A and B are shown apart, each in its own frame.
Chain A
């Protein structure tokens, strides 16, 4: 069992409050990913859990035991650092056995555990080498091995793959997923990489300025973000936002008018809105389609098209100067400055009120 519970955790450096009351529950076997813009406090939160930072107030529980004040080594956690932090003067074997030796385990146990970790991570041929004689990916594996041998309840990773090249990152990502499956361990993982977050996580925690914006499965966050920040943060390329005003709001849906005059009816519960109040429409690139101008919701002028082979991303300027990102097939061709018609998948659009909170989507009434 390894349930981690964080209650109203606050952390200040001097006068600056970095974590402003974090509440979070992490269940056994979960793979939790912290994402958020740089400087939002992801590392600080992770280090507070590890015990490397003293918290200002709040509580951390591992299962039923409070660990807030406990020394790092007594918390049953292991951490993998971005720089790997291998001990440079020790061989790979010694790096992995260090914690066990400090814990005064017997020689046989140590050897067995190190051999097991080396087998899992395919480090057997490298055991006698020093860290400087290893490649980046191998160092990464040693750092993971060092945490595996301790059999901790929770693994903490702080951007472990960010120093690797793209190909190796994909490989290590798969290995991490396999490891999580094999070890049945609870893992907390900080990353900047959306693909890592989406593919690895059972649960994504979006942090912003020391606060949790939303917690949920990757698909939940992607398809029903709680607010404009989460909507804009997840997804590559980003969601486009268009300002609009409410015309009609009832149980059937919400009718809005975009600034350039087009009107749309969205299957969104707008009962909390008032007529003429300002709202923001959010659309992901894949939910906009290029259409015949006569049948489309509105038109725009093509600014730039980026062809990635499988897809072409078109950046389209509306008549009011907003930029929309549109995903089109890879063979789409279009000229700079050309007027194109755009139609939206209305049931996939998001509407945010003037507090930037998402409005709940209506269950399909017709269907």
Chain B
């Protein structure tokens, strides 16, 4: 549901920032408004119905364990959710998760795509290998990491640690959030590479040569030509990844289950645990709404930034 609202938001901003042709007559504008109205209406319905249901649920007492006691409770659910022990943890973990995965994927995405943009033998294979993690289902990805790589007894990492005589790390209990960040970054890095790599291929060769003649070394070339050229794809990567990372769930569910304690519980997981583990639909709805508001705040700034870079930069 969060994603739906985000999409509508994004579309609105894109329309706002789109260049308005000066010569288009009012007649034409009316016709085009008429033509898009069915899909806009459908989207609106798609958004409004679940949203109003959620708002309604959030304002009543609605626990599946106590059927029939659905009286109006005002903002009680919200108060309860916000003061819940898990809430602050969920907020921080969400921000930490999104922030670090974004940082890792963008920085490494740029570096790796710069590297594989150089001509070398076996380039095609390397590219495919780099892209492929993106096509693995999140649950499968998490399971592979959990059981094959990070497992404290039989995992590959444990074997490496043992080979060097070190005590293997129990990743999910000692560094739970870091492990999740690692897994999710592995999943999303290919996405960044894919976008940045294609962008690099459209980098103008003659501009680079002109800059070389102007005395630019590799660093100046990167900073003055490549970096501005990549600004737009990086903005797109950040926006799309944020949308998906805000609602990260499968990786946490399959590995740590939000624990130990609340250490890997993000907002999405918190809502899930409220709704399904404690059967409190009202509370979960209130949490959902809070998450929607947070996501929209994030989306608002992101769309501003991305929309700006899409229209400003060449």
Q: Does B71 contact A (CB under 8 A)?
A: no
Q: Given A71, A79, A89, A103, which contacts B210 in the complex, CB threshold below 8 Å?
A: A79
A88 to chain B, nearest CB (A): 5
Q: Given B206, B214, B224, which contacts A73 in the complex, CB threshold below 8 Å?
A: B214
**B209 and A87 within 8 A (CB):** no
A98 and B224 in contact, given A73-B214, A77-B213 (Cβ under 8 angstroms): yes
B48 to chain A, nearest CB (A): 41
A281–B88 alpha-carbon span in the complex (Å): 96
Q: Does B33 contact A (CB under 8 A)?
A: no
**A72 and B212 within 8 A (CB):** yes
A78 and B213 in contact, given A83-B206, A87-B207, A89-B228 (Cβ under 8 angstroms): yes
Q: Given A52, A103, A132, which contacts B209 in the complex, CB threshold below 8 Å?
A: A52
Q: Given A50, A88, A102, which contacts B220 in the complex, CB threshold below 8 Å?
A: A102
A98 and B204 in contact, given A52-B209, A81-B209 (Cβ under 8 angstroms): no
Considering only residues 79-114 of chain A, those with a C-beta below 8 Å from chain B are 79, 81-83, 85-90, 98-99, 102-103
Q: Which A residues lie within 8 Å of B207 (CB)? A: 85-88
Q: Which B residues lie within 8 Å of A86 (CB)? A: 207, 210
Instruction: Write the chain B residue with the least CB distance to A99.
Output: B214
Interface 1/0s, chain A 114-141, versus B by CB < 8 A? 0000000000000000111000000000
B236 to chain A, nearest CB (A): 17
**A98 and B206 within 8 A (CB):** no
**A85 and B209 within 8 A (CB):** yes
Instruction: Write the chain B residue with the least CB distance to A94.
Output: B224
**A102 and B215 within 8 A (CB):** yes
A132–B312 alpha-carbon span in the complex (Å): 11
A102–B221 alpha-carbon span in the complex (Å): 11
Instruction: Write the chain A residue with the least CB distance to B214.
Output: A99
Q: Which B residues lie within 8 Å of A228 (CB)? A: none
**A98 and B228 within 8 A (CB):** no
Q: Does A10 contact B (CB under 8 A)?
A: no
A77 to chain B, nearest CB (A): 7
B216 to chain A, nearest CB (A): 6
Q: Which B residues lie within 8 Å of A77 (CB)? A: 213
Q: Does A146 contact B (CB under 8 A)?
A: yes
Q: Does B156 contact A (CB under 8 A)?
A: no
Q: Which B residues lie within 8 Å of A72 (CB)? A: 209, 212-213
A241–B204 alpha-carbon span in the complex (Å): 45
Q: Does A150 contact B (CB under 8 A)?
A: yes
A85–B207 alpha-carbon span in the complex (Å): 5
Interface band, chain A: 20 to 34
Q: Which A residues lie within 8 Å of B224 (CB)? A: 87, 89-90, 98
A89–B224 alpha-carbon span in the complex (Å): 8
A70 to chain B, nearest CB (A): 12
Q: Which B residues lie within 8 Å of A146 (CB)? A: 210, 214
**B314 and A102 within 8 A (CB):** no
Q: Which B residues lie within 8 Å of A73 (CB)? A: 212-216
**A85 and B210 within 8 A (CB):** yes
Considering only residues 199-230 of chain B, those with a C-beta below 8 Å from chain A are 204, 206-207, 209-216, 220, 224-225, 228-229
A50 and B213 in contact, given A87-B225, A88-B314 (Cβ under 8 angstroms): yes
A87–B214 alpha-carbon span in the complex (Å): 11
**B213 and A102 within 8 A (CB):** no
Q: Does B313 contact A (CB under 8 A)?
A: yes
A81–B214 alpha-carbon span in the complex (Å): 13
Interface 1/0s, chain A 32-68, versus B by CB < 8 A? 0000000000000000001110000000000000000
A98–B220 alpha-carbon span in the complex (Å): 10
Q: Which B residues lie within 8 Å of A81 (CB)? A: 206, 209-210
A146–B211 alpha-carbon span in the complex (Å): 11
**A99 and B215 within 8 A (CB):** yes
**B314 and A85 within 8 A (CB):** no
A103–B314 alpha-carbon span in the complex (Å): 27
25 pairs, A vs B, C-beta closer than 8 Å? A50-B213, A52-B209, A52-B212, A72-B212, A73-B216, A79-B209, A81-B209, A83-B206, A85-B204, A85-B206, A85-B209, A86-B207, A87-B207, A87-B211, A87-B225, A88-B204, A89-B224, A89-B229, A89-B313, A98-B211, A98-B216, A102-B215, A102-B220, A146-B214, A150-B214
Q: CB within 8 Å of B: which residues of A?
A: 50-52, 71-73, 77-79, 81-83, 85-90, 98-99, 102-103, 130-132, 146, 150
